[in-house]
Amino acid sequence: MSEINRAVKGTNDILPEISHKWQFAESTMLETARLFGFKEIRVPVFEHTEVFSRNVGDTTDVVQKEMYTFLDKGDRSITLRPELTAGTARSVIEHGLLNSALPLKVCYIGGCYRYEKPQAGRLREFHQFGAECYGTKNPAADAEMIALAKQVLENLGVKNISLEINSIGCPTCRKNYQEALKKYFAENENDLCDTCKDRLTRNPMRILDCKSPICSNIAKNAPVVLDFLCDECKEHFDGVKAHLEAMQINYTVNPHIVRGLDYYTKTVFEFVSNDIGAQSTVCGGGRYDGLIGQMGGNDTPALGFAMGIERLMLLLENQNCEFPNAKKCDLYIAPMGEKAALKASSLCNELRLCGIAAETDICSRGLKAQMKFADKIGALFTAVLGDNELESGKINIKNMSDGSIKEISLDALPDEIIKLQ
Ligand code: ATP
Ligand code: MG
């Protein structure tokens, strides 16, 4: 197959045979979020480049290497969203949503674009489900956010997933920490990868997030951010832990979690699984109290998380999780002749209005070919409609799973099918 007839590297098609799994995942996510008070927001796939470059952080991998940025025909620099937090923040500021009742809770599902090396669980187009909460500094909000992510994973049937939390402090306590880190990594500078050598002066915390085995080995004995927290940040972290314990949510404190994006403050967390190979983080999130102010809004604390839906699907498959079956055709009506075809069309429409999935022949096929098709689409019931049935007003309905047949009146078709199901 020629290159142009193939999907672009790092993109996936979600084919009709599996789309019901995505629909199940997405409706579970939105419904769970609704129970926590979150309403869906939909923001554009692309934004002005600065929305991401200024706010995600210009020393992050995402901004330095991974963004799909281009000039549009009006010479504006546009970027396909690599994540949805920045665009969502842009939107809630622009529409004054932070002037209404706080906390404001929103959630989203959408495609994200990052120029990465494609591998299992790492794509160039992927999808995230995420949630954002604005307007509260209270640690109860951090714990509620974590509880939402956990509930979504549980409702989807994920097993053996662990929650790791950390606090990376506020800009005040982080200053001392950054100094200590610089000192520590400077002693090992020659062994660091080239990117981390650069990070050493610009943003040493990023080194803790480096995927190279040598850097992560050096990082193992680096100073721990928790030892540098100011009283306020320490108290906040204790509050988050207390609320998690009150909700009986198990966690481990992992002082090495820093998250890949620059806007985080205080709480950061990840849900990790050993069942998806190298890309073990399914969900990442935390607090970003400086983001809204930095983006030109009134200073408003904020927090949230994002989960990668492809990674989640991979995990569910690897754990042999059960998805609800795809809904099939309830009744296939096979018409014989022109008059019957007209009646079949109108019967199908009547059935669909009653919530019954009904199909009929739209290819002018003979009876045998129609039955073969009904079998292929997994129709639960079939019925042949010919001159006899039109005359008598009665039709035989065949149950395809056990072969049983029942004669019913054409007028009562919707009611009878509902009863038979
Ligand atoms: P990683 O460390 O794996 O690169 P990240 O820190 O860049 O992840 P975030 O920006 O926090 O990830 O995004 C949140 C979630 O989105 C991740 O935990 C992951 O599940 C998913 N995700 C991120 N990048 C990709 C990608 N390229 N392909 C598929 N899923 C992704
Ligand atoms: Mg990444």
Q: Which atom in ligand 1 lies closest to the alpha carbon of residue 307?
A: 15
Question: pLDDT digits over 231-243, tens only?
Answer: 999 999 999 999 9
Tokens coding 35: 């129970």
Instruction: Please state, in angstroms and as integers, the Cα–Cα distance from residue 89 to each residue in 8, 242, 295, 309, 396, following that order.
Output: 30, 29, 8, 21, 59
Instruction: Please count the residues of the chain.
Output: 421
Tell me how far CA of residue 214 lies from CA of 62, 63, 407, in angstroms. 21, 23, 74
* Amino acid identity, position 32: T
* Per-residue tokens: 204: 């040493």
In terms of Cβ atoms closer than 10 Å to its own Cβ (0-12, 13-18, 19+), residue 89 is buried
Task: Give the pLDDT confidence of 53-66 residue by residue, as tens digits.
Answer: 988 887 788 998 99
State both tokens at 325.
């079956």
For the full predicted model, state whether its pTM sits above 0.85.
yes
Per-residue model confidence (pLDDT) at position 211: 81
Bridge partners (DSSP) listed for residue 129 = 109, 307
Please name the residue whose Cα sits nearest to atom 4 of ligand 1: 260
Across the beta sheet with 358-360, the strand order is 358-360, 331-335, 381-385, 394-399, 405-409
Per residue, the 3-state secondary structure of the chain, as one string, reads CCHHHCCCCCCCCCCCCCHHHHHHHHHHHHHHHHHCCCEECCCCCEEEHHHHHCCCCCCCHHHHHHCCEEECCCCCEEEECCCCHHHHHHHHHHCCHHHCCCCEEEEEEEEEECCCCCECCECCEEEEEEEEEECCCCHHHHHHHHHHHHHHHHHCCCCCCEEEEEECCCHHHHHHHHHHHHHHHHCCHHHCCHHHHHHHHHCHHHHHHCCCHHHHHHHCCCCCHHHHCCHHHHHHHHHHHHHHHHCCCCCEECCCCCCCCCCCEEEEEEEECCCCCCCCEEEEEEECCCHHHHCCCCCCCEEEEEEEHHHHHHHHHHCCCCCCCCCCCCEEEEECCHHHHHHHHHHHHHHHHCCCCEEECCCCCCHHHHHHHHHHCCCCEEEEECHHHHHHCEEEEEECCCCCEEEEEHHHHHHHHHHHC
Please measure the distance between the N-terminal and C-terminal CA atoms of the chain and give it in whole angstroms.
Answer: 44
Query: CA–CA separation, 367 vs 344, rounded Å?
Result: 14
Mutation test residue for ligand 1: of 66, 259, 279, the one with most atoms within 8 Å of CB: 279
Name the average pLDDT for the chain: 95
| Residues β-bridged to residue 283 | 271, 307
- Name the residue type at position 19: S
Q: Which of 414, 408, 415 is nearest to 393 (CA)?
A: 408
Report residue 132 as tokens. Answer: 């954002």
The answer, yes or no, to whether residue 393 has pLDDT greater than 90, is yes
As a three-state string, the secondary structure of 156-185 is CCCCCCEEEEEECCCHHHHHHHHHHHHHHH
Quote the ligand 1 centre to 151 CA distance (angstroms).
20
Q: Any idea which of 83-92, 257-266, 349-358 has the lowest mean pLDDT? A: 257-266
Whose atoms come closest to the Cα of 114: which ligand?
1
Q: Which ligand places an atom closest to the C-alpha of 306?
A: 1
**What CA–CA distance (Å, rounded) separates 409 from 412?**
5
The Cα 286–Cα 98 span in angstroms is 19
Please determine, for residue 107, whether its predicted confidence score (pLDDT) is greater than 90.
Answer: yes
Pick the more confident residue, 402 or 209. Answer: 402
**Mean pLDDT within 367-383:** 97
Give the closest residue (by CA) to ligand 1 atom 10: 260
For 7, what's the count of Cα atoms within 13 Å in the CB-facing half-sphere?
11
Q: State the residue for tokens 């400077």.
A: 186
Contact 62, 209 (CB under 8 A): no
Ligand 1 contacts (CB < 6 A) are 83, 114, 116, 121-123, 126, 128, 260-261, 279, 281-284, 306-308, 310-311
Provide the pLDDT confidence category of residue 41 given band limits of 50, 70 and 90. very high
Closest-lying ligand 1 atom to the alpha carbon of residue 312 = 20
Name 379's Cβ contacts closer than 8 Å, sequence gap at least 6.
328, 329, 330, 331, 332, 359, 400
Binning pLDDT at 50, 70 and 90, where does residue 260 land?
low
Question: What are 276-304's pLDDT values in tens digits?
Answer: 877 789 999 999 999 999 999 999 999 99
- Convert the pLDDT of each residue in 161-197 to its tens digit: 999 999 999 988 888 999 999 999 999 999 999 989 9
Ligand 1 atom nearest 259 alpha carbon: 6
Share of the chain above pLDDT 70, in %: 99
Interval between CA 220 and ligand 2 midpoint (Å): 20
pLDDT of residue 61: 84
Q: Which atom of ligand 1 is nearest to the CA of 282?
A: 20
Give residue for tokens 């009134």: 298
State in Å: Cα 199 to ligand 1 middle. 20
Share of the chain above pLDDT 90, in %: 85
CA distance 362 to 352: 16
Q: Give the per-residue pLDDT at 308.
A: 97
Pick the ligand that lies closest to the CA of residue 125.
1
The whole-number pLDDT of residue 209 equals 82
Rounded to the nearest angstrom, the distance between the alpha carbon of 216 and the centre of ligand 2 is 15
Q: Which atom of ligand 1 is nearest to the CA of 114?
A: 27
Q: What are 121-176's pLDDT values in tens digits?
A: 999 999 999 999 999 999 999 999 999 999 999 999 999 999 999 999 998 888 89
